[in-house]
Amino acid sequence: MSQPTVFVSAPVPDDLLEELAREFDVVAVPPGTTQDLGRYGSPVGWLMGGGTPIDAGVLAQLPDLKVVSNSGVGYDSLVMDDIRAAGVIAANTPGVLDNAVAEIALGLVLSLGRGIVGFDRFTRDGRWADGAAPLTRDVHGKTVGVLGMGRIGKRVAQLLQPLGVSVIYHNRARRPEIDESGLAQWREREAFFAESDFVVVLVPLSPQTRGYVGAADLARMQPTAYLINLARGAVVDTPALVEAIRSGQIAGAGLDVFDVEPLPLDDELQTLPNVILLPHIGSATAETRRAMSELAVRNLRNGSLGQPVETPIP
């Protein structure tokens, strides 16, 4: 008796693939494939990363599909209205990557505030022989603004507490329990950008949040302030950010996400010395990626067998 088919378009450890193969015919489909999917079979489930768009056109090719299991927390490539209309369940992997992403946020706050990456270049370039390194500023006593106080934002605030910083946040909906806990204090949007020495962007990408941080927000920031983006590149108006940095309107940025990935070598961001560029490594630890794969596989298996998934996308 043949087994039901599942597609896999994201890296999954061999032992987890072997477990899946006991119950399913596991078919590797190249990431981003959206045309002529029938040649791979008719799956009941699809495990993917963030680079494969799923819309009505894709779903029409997959009449047996029951579940889309996204190995990652961001699901901007999934057209949820189309998925719901097709009666398909979608799941992602929230929670398991909160700490890893928050650690990168903490690292960027310290690296930007204390010039750590720039001083590495200063030492390697031999400039130390010409005189002492320039002074930076304390991180202690500064204000960090978290734009998007969800699970990751809350963990960022927790990790920042021992540094002696003040944490403020802005959401479209205020979270009274956060204010009451003393972890962070809510601010209106204008005050949020004006008060923050570091703005950490954690807003998920959606049609409503594309270009969410724009020129007007950057203009409210202090010339000593930094913007850190760990969400999606398109959440920030990149040309406006480049101009704000070039003009000295803000001091610099730390970016783990970009409009185009990998970031082209001729991108203007590559020319800015006061910007730290990371290759989308917020969740890139062995432990976190393993936990993401395990949860994505469980969601794939459960959904494919008609059982409830652990972390459905609302």
What are the residue numbers of the active site? 232, 261, 280
At residue 118's C-alpha, the angle toward residues 116 and 120, to 5°, is 70
Residues 96 and 72: their CA atoms lie apart, in Å, by 9
| Tokens coding 28 | 């590797």
What three-state secondary structure class fits 280? coil
Q: How far apart are the first and last CA of the chain?
A: 35
274: exposed, middle or buried (Cβ count in 10 Å: 0-12, 13-18, 19+): middle
State the helix-helix crossing angle for 14-21 and 286-304, rounded to 10 degrees: 10
Residue type, 280: H
Q: Are 253 and 201 in contact (CB under 8 A)?
A: no
Task: Return the number of other C-beta atoms located less than 10 Å from residue 168's C-beta.
Answer: 21
Element (H, E) at 191: helix 189-195
Task: Return the number of other C-beta atoms located less than 10 Å from residue 306's C-beta.
Answer: 10
Task: Return the number of other C-beta atoms located less than 10 Å from residue 194's C-beta.
Answer: 16
Residues 189 and 24: their CA atoms lie apart, in Å, by 49
Name 201's bridge partners: 147, 229
Closest listed residue to residue 166, CA positions, set 150, 197, 190, 144: 144
Give how far the C-alpha of residue 79 lies from the chain's centroid of Cα atoms, to the nearest Å. Answer: 18
